[in-house]
Amino acid sequence: MLTRRTFLRASAAGFALAACPLPGRLARAATSRDVLVALYLRGGADGLSLIVPHGDPEYATLRPTLALPESELIPMTGFFGMNGNFGELASLYASGQMAAIHCVGSTDDTRSHFDAQDYMERAAPGDKSVSDGWLNRYLALAGEGNVLAGISLGWSDEESLAGPAANLSLSSLSEFRFQGSFPEERKAAIRALHAAHPQSLLSMRTEEALAVEETLSSVSTDTNVTYPQGGLGYRLRDLAALIRADVGVHVAGLSMGGWDHHDAEIEQLGPATSNLSACLGAFYQDLGVDANRVLTLVMTEFGRTVQENGTFGSDHGRGSIMLALGGGVSGGNLLLKDGVWPGLAQNPSGPRRDLEVTTDFRDVFAEVLNRHLGVSMADLGGIFPSFAPDANNFPGLFSA
């Protein structure tokens, strides 16, 4: 349904109708239909169990019960293997549609979920004064006036899209419409209430909200692709429908919870990895010819400790992984800073404690914005507070 949350967020942003986007500073971004999807794995996903360094002699020693046998992994290199539940992702990797980055994370060493997530979504590690998200700053830079250019899908707002630039938050496509009997008559009655003062701010915002509702209610989610049941599958199905309908989506944010495995990690990780892989596999199958213009960046607030704990799990750590799918990435590659694996035995935060962060997550964001969405190096500085992106530090997600 058209909820107070979605109406107020859209209205407060002062959005324009989808058919009337405002001109932006970025010529390519204003005319391109390239899409960036930011998918957050909430809870601190264990990168060492997703892209597994089985060739590191410390791996099995430090994880006597968590270590995944090489025979159960999907081969990537002689040193690394992919989690065996990543069947669909492995197919995308093998076909050149997915790349992985290891040892990526924040320069701030907080172990707080809330702080780490805020720092990542605002692209401002350690700075609690920053209130807007990195994707919202991109929308502002691009001059996007279409509220549908930025979409947050799920029951909670994505903080990466928080800020003054127009964007829309909705729980699902099926809920963002008038429910029950006589929806057209009810909309006509609402319009009649504002007919006497059509130029008032409230009347204009009401008309715009109704126009967005009419646009979204016309989008069909019918597909011959089978998505997994549940939140992430439903959200990605809705997002694929919005992208195919070409309503103007440019960036999107969504989340998958359930990655904080302090105990019984093996038992919990199986369903989570299987669901993530199946959902993303279905999404890219559903996108079809649009897959090459849609880049999905999968990230998490921090990784887990190298050494397992006493309850057959792992605790809050530092480095983890990112995955980049579609969008013209140079797939089939596992990327490390300078091609070097830092090892599990020693790192700056203490022996056997954390996987070292060698790639700043902001360098990943910057490369994606630059190479996929066409943001110039000069304009990148306006998106990252107190950080100057340098192309020499880009991880290499795209071919030269």
Q: How confident is the model at residue 241 (pLDDT cuts 50, 70, 90)?
A: very high
User: In the chain, what is the greatest distance between 2 CA atoms, to the nearest angstrom?
Assistant: 76
Q: Cβ–Cβ contacts within 10 Å for residue 189, how many? A: 10
Give CA–CA dist 294/35, Å, rounded: 5
Which of these, 352, 355, 362, 364, lies nearest to 385 by C-alpha position? 362
CATH architecture of the domain covering 4-393: 3-Layer(aba) Sandwich (3.40)
Per-residue model confidence (pLDDT) at position 22 = 31
Q: Note whether 57 and 316 are within 8 A (CB).
A: no
Task: Write down the residue that tokens 């130029």 correspond to.
Answer: 199
Q: Of 36-45, 48-57, 208-217, which gets the smallest average pLDDT?
A: 208-217
Per-residue model confidence (pLDDT) at position 112 = 98
Average pLDDT of the chain to the nearest whole number: 89
Contacts of 276 (CB under 8 A, 6+ apart): 41, 86, 89, 232, 256, 298
Q: What's the pLDDT tens digit per position in 302-342?
A: 999 999 999 999 999 999 999 999 999 999 999 999 999 99
**For the CA atoms of the chain, what is the radius of gyration?**
22
What is the pLDDT averaged over residues 265-292? 98
Give CA–CA dist 193/188, Å, rounded: 9
Per-residue model confidence (pLDDT) at position 199 = 79
Report the range out of 201-205, 216-220, 325-329, 345-349 with the highest average pLDDT: 325-329
Q: What's the pLDDT tens digit per position in 71-119?
A: 999 999 999 999 999 999 999 999 999 999 999 999 999 999 999 999 9
Q: Of 21-30, 172-181, 304-313, 322-331, which gets the smallest average pLDDT?
A: 21-30
Give CA–CA dist 362/370, Å, rounded: 12
What is the pLDDT averaged over residues 333-357? 86
Give CA–CA dist 207/201, Å, rounded: 10
pLDDT of 293 > 50? The answer is yes
Per-residue model confidence (pLDDT) at position 95 = 97
Task: Write down the residue that tokens 């990605």 correspond to.
Answer: 236
Per-residue model confidence (pLDDT) at position 349 = 60
Give CA–CA dist 31/336, Å, rounded: 33
Q: Note whether 117 and 159 are within 8 A (CB).
A: yes
Q: Note whether 315 and 112 are within 8 A (CB).
A: no
What are the structure tokens assigned to 360, written together? 């700043």
What are the structure tokens assigned to 125, written together? 């590690």
User: pTM (2 decimals)?
Assistant: 0.90
Per-residue model confidence (pLDDT) at position 195 = 78
